[in-house]
Amino acid sequence: MTTITRFAPSPTGNLHVGNIRTALHNWMLARKSGGRFVLRIDDTDAARSREEFVEAIRADLAWLGLAADGEERQSERLALYQSAFDALLDSGRIYPAYETAQELELKRKIQLGRGLPPIYDRAALQLSDADRAAKEAEGVAPHWRFKLDHDEPIEWDDGVRGKQKFDPAQLSDPVIRRADGSWLYMLPSAVDDLDMGVTQVLRGEDHVTNTAVQIQMFTALIAAQYPAAKIPAFAHEALLVGKEGKLSKRLGSLGCDSFRERDIEPEAIVALLARLGTSQPVEPIADRQVLVDTFDLSTFGRAPAKFDDTELDRLNAAIVHQMDYEAVRHRLPEGMDEAGWHAVRPNLSHVSEAGNWWKLVTGPIEQPEFSSEDRAFLSQAADLLEWGDDPWRSLTAALKEASGRKGKPLFLPLRQALTGMDHGPDMGELLPLIGEEEARARLCRAAA
């Protein structure tokens, strides 16, 4: 059976790092088995959903290299939800309830005060036809709940958490439709998973209780309307926390826009999030196929996964050091060729820093003040400078013999005179880029 996974964001805001991790893992799960990864836009909340966020979600996934094999929008599937609703209503699995939000909150407080779990008491099931007619005559529109079957425990083998078991009597019958007719998450999601043939649902552990409820929905829907469908397998991964080990509001706002502003490579984000929370080492792996081939739900741990900006920066620098010229040429300063990129690349943490290092070649540079001894040494360097295949090695060899200097006293004044800095790219690669005429001019200026 073909593996089909889905990523189902609501277009009520931009993707954050937790969403990105979920999308990535579903993409990898599908790619590993040659399956399909589907983007489902959960836009049934018309009041909060915005088209600009739909476009942003698509753009972010494209930037990350997480191409979807198909896209669905819940706003275009409302007839399916209505049909499923009608079928469940006919089979007695849906019932109307008339409590206000205030009434429900009061019930919860009373139950908590008595030491009871704050679950819905199913009072609406006790209403007679006359009671319901009276409510509607008063203008009270019902919301609709899915009736859980209390006779059998809910069980599944979770891909991350192992054996799971819930007592449905300890769960509230979930509201699936508001009084205004709009849909909540539960039923449309279950309908879509069955209708789209989703085989694997991989999401955060905050959905574990939702899964328990939806497993009964799947069973009811299969019996009422989707006889050929199968309940998907489930896996719930630990949520991300900050490096301090606490849930962080910042993680809820940290998304692709902030990564792009920091010039973080998408390959670095993928390398970090692919293995964050698993027993596998987080490494600067730029080859997606390696990450896909080693993706394994059995390596996922139950402990919260710690997201650390410092680790992301470390990975980013290592990824940049692997990047070929062709991959970055459109992002480099004017005039920087492959030799220039190769020279400055080891000194970069971000590609955007290449421009600062390239100024060592294009100038102007600001030289430090030199001692009289160093000025004489640099004057000697200007005289001994000869151009060839390796001008730096030729120059330092000649100067070592002529001046008797070696080590730091030999190399540091030359670097300072030629670049204005105490450190930087390999001078053997940098000097040919500076060129003979400019290099001699800098040495003479430093010696003056």
CB 184 within 8 A of CB 132: no
Which pLDDT score is estimated for 249? 74
pLDDT above 70: residue 217: yes
Range of the domain at 329: 325-361
d(CA 6, CA 161): 20
d(CA 438, CA 50): 56
pLDDT above 90: residue 1: no
pLDDT digit string, tens, across residues 189-215: 999 999 999 999 999 999 999 999 999
CB 183 within 8 A of CB 214: no
Q: Which of 315, 333, 361 is the last residue of a domain?
A: 361
pLDDT above 80: residue 374: yes
**329 lies in the same domain as 352:** yes
pLDDT digit string, tens, across residues 60-71: 999 999 999 999
pLDDT (mean) for 130-139: 95
Which pLDDT score is estimated for 252? 79
d(CA 217, CA 145): 11
pLDDT (mean) for 310-339: 97
pLDDT (mean) for 164-183: 97
Which pLDDT score is estimated for 94? 98
Average pLDDT, the chain: 96
pLDDT digit string, tens, across residues 88-125: 999 999 999 999 999 999 999 999 999 999 999 999 99
pLDDT above 70: residue 218: yes
Asked whether residue 405 is assigned to any structural domain, the reply reads yes
User: Given its phi and psi angles, is residue 426 left (phi above 0), alpha (psi -120 to 50 degrees) or beta?
Assistant: beta
Asked whether residue 167 is assigned to any structural domain, the reply reads no
**376 lies in the same domain as 439:** yes
Kindly give, in sequence order, each residue whose CB lies less than 8 Å from that of residue 204, ignoring residues fewer than 6 positions away: 18, 22, 236, 237, 238, 239
Local confidence band at 253 (pLDDT 50, 70, 90 cut-offs): confident
d(CA 328, CA 247): 36
Q: Which amino acid is at 14?
A: N
Paired tokens of 149? 């079957």
**368 lies in the same domain as 353:** no
Which pLDDT score is estimated for 131? 96
CATH number (domain holding residue 410): 1.10.10.350
**431 lies in the same domain as 380:** yes
| Residue 388: how many other CB atoms lie within 10 Å | 10
pLDDT above 70: residue 247: no
Local confidence band at 396 (pLDDT 50, 70, 90 cut-offs): very high
Asked whether residue 82 is assigned to any structural domain, the reply reads no
Number of domains in the chain: 2
Which pLDDT score is estimated for 244? 76
**385 lies in the same domain as 436:** yes
Q: Which of 361, 388, 409 is the last residue of a domain?
A: 361
Burial class of 191 by CB neighbour count within 10 A (0 to 12, 13 to 18, 19+): buried
The percent of residues above 70 in pLDDT, for the chain, comes to 100
Asked whether residue 408 is assigned to any structural domain, the reply reads yes
**332 lies in the same domain as 369:** no
**434 lies in the same domain as 373:** yes
pLDDT (mean) for 355-364: 96
Which pLDDT score is estimated for 250? 80
**384 lies in the same domain as 439:** yes
Strand-pair category, 175-177 with 143-146? antiparallel
pLDDT (mean) for 417-422: 97
Q: Which of 344, 361, 378 is the last residue of a domain?
A: 361
**356 lies in the same domain as 401:** no
pLDDT digit string, tens, across residues 19-52: 999 999 999 999 999 999 999 999 999 999 999 9
**349 lies in the same domain as 368:** no
Asked whether residue 57 is assigned to any structural domain, the reply reads no
d(CA 175, CA 152): 21
d(CA 17, CA 194): 28
Asked whether residue 331 is assigned to any structural domain, the reply reads yes
**368 lies in the same domain as 407:** yes
Which pLDDT score is estimated for 27? 98
**373 lies in the same domain as 440:** yes
Asked whether residue 347 is assigned to any structural domain, the reply reads yes
Asked whether residue 199 is assigned to any structural domain, the reply reads no
Is 249 labelled as part of a ligand binding site? Answer: yes
